[in-house]
Amino acid sequence: MCGILGVVATTPVNQLLYDGLMVLQHRGQDAAGMATVEDDAFHMHKGSGLVRDVFRTRNMRALPGNMGIAHCRYPTAGSAFDSSLSQPFYVNSPFGIVLGHNGNLTNTEELKKEMFRQDLRHINTHSDSEVLLNALAHELQATAKGYHLDLDTIFGAVSAVHRRCRGAYAVVAMIAGYGMLAFRDPFGIRPLIFGSNETPEGTEYLFASESVALDTLGFKVLRDVEPGEAIFIDLEHRIHQRQCAQNSVLAPCIFEFVYLARPDSVIDGVSVYEARLHMGEHLADKLVKHIPVEEIDVVIPIPDSSRPSAMQLAQRIDVPYREGFVKNRYIGRTFIMPGQATRKRSVRQKLNTVAQEFKGKRVLLVDDSIVRGTTSREIVEMARAAGALKVYFASASPPVRYPNVYGIDMPTRSELIATGRSGEEIAREIGADALVYQDLDALKASIRELKPSLCNFDTSCFDGVYITGDVSPAYLNAIELAREGDGAAARDEHWSSNQLQLNLMSVD
């Protein structure tokens, strides 16, 4: 999960990019970067940290030009503290290209070997985004007639990238002397939307991970970039678009609607806020089958993503909704912090209880999801310490039992509290008196009710069905070994083979 922006404007874009990154900061807090182009020359600045810390006045002055891309990074691969992994990435041969990428490739190692031995390209970091950049650069070189690019060449190169690269990728890139290119993987796993703004000097265009960036920057939403589609905007601000993948199918990551995206965003035509309201309604319908409503005195959300679901749930079961936790706005989201110890330590810095909402009451806590369980356990303890008589817990999404390999930092089974445990066992682990999870079919229905034509989703972290069809147990084991070291194999010996039976699915 990262945030990407691409702007083609009639005036300098550095401030637009900065403001857009601030709006997308929730998608990545590890690093940020911008690249602009002026007279065929790229200017770039990037570094580790929050957007406000990476860019100073002197950095902004060094980013001239009316076209640019920007990126805020969330560590899906490699070290969270390795500044060399900050984006955008740049390559200068045979065409100057800078690229920003949201997602995660699933065949990175295979591509690295191909590029070194066949393409004669050297990958200098552990980032799959640098691999993707070099794949695009190589395919442009292979498709071009000489050293000139035309539309057929550009779109043909994207088609070749789709054939070579597997996994999730939403991309914005600039090609020096030609224009801006944006494209999305054939399943549209990660979001990408674009819009326009009319000015006296001409039309401006903006690509972004979420529609909220377009709203706040004053751009009119045109549409989402389709799965497998590429859109190219030339130096004259003319739009060219083409479907570059065979058999593309829209199957967005359902976790975007659950947690990742801002509630005021619209993704693939679905309001994230409305989807979360529907999640609350479906969760309420299941809750009443497992916990008597008269046993609940108050419904309290765990801020911020769960608020719409908790509010709608409380209304549906006719129980008071109260804000029982106050969030420190200056502490990052614990889910995307790089280390487990850091996440645990930060929970109590991040949240504090409003004691009167807990004392002497039977409370239902509602969260959007339970991933590692660290935050949930700490929050239940906080509720009891504040005087709660009973603490029930409800999750607006199903149990997270499988790794997500498409750009969310939950790659190992040992980190997922739901893997290998029943609902009752998870409740004991987090210290709750009872626990209710959303059903997967109900979660899907929450979104389909808003857009019936949206039939497919990537729900791999819930059901082990990997939409790209190339994720095997061996691949997941390799990720774990790389992440945890050789000790991971010993720690996971108790997982029987039937617990890792993945319903691999490919779409013809």
H helical segments located in 252-337: 255, 272-287, 307-317
**Alpha carbon of 269 to those of 24, 139, 262, 283, 385: distances in Å?**
19, 32, 14, 23, 43
Can you tell me the distance from the alpha carbon of 5 to that of 136, in angstroms, rounded to the nearest whole number? 18
Angle, in degrees to the nearest 10, between helices 423-430 and 374-385: 60
Can you tell me the distance from the alpha carbon of 316 to that of 31, in angstroms, rounded to the nearest whole number? 41
**In which region does residue 428 sit, left (phi positive, over 0), alpha (psi from -120 to 50) or beta (all else)?**
alpha
Q: Is 2 a catalytic residue?
A: yes
Quote the tokens at residue 331. 């502490």
| CB neighbours of residue 75 within 10 Å | 20
Can you tell me the distance from the alpha carbon of 480 to that of 472, in angstroms, rounded to the nearest whole number? 13
From 2, 72, 165, 461, the catalytic residue: 2
Can you tell me the distance from the alpha carbon of 217 to that of 201, in angstroms, rounded to the nearest whole number? 17
Q: Which residues, in sequence order, are CB contacts of 197 under 8 Å at separation 6+? A: 203, 204, 205, 206, 217, 218, 219, 220
3-state secondary structure of 194: strand
Burial class (CB in 10 A: 0-12, 13-18, 19+), 241: middle
Label the pairing between strands 390-395 and 362-367: parallel
Closest CA to 189 of 475, 467, 454: 467
Residue identified by tokens 């829209």 is 250
Q: Which residues, in sequence order, are CB contacts of 75 under 8 Å at separation 6+? A: 30, 85, 338, 409
- The residues assigned a catalytic role are 2
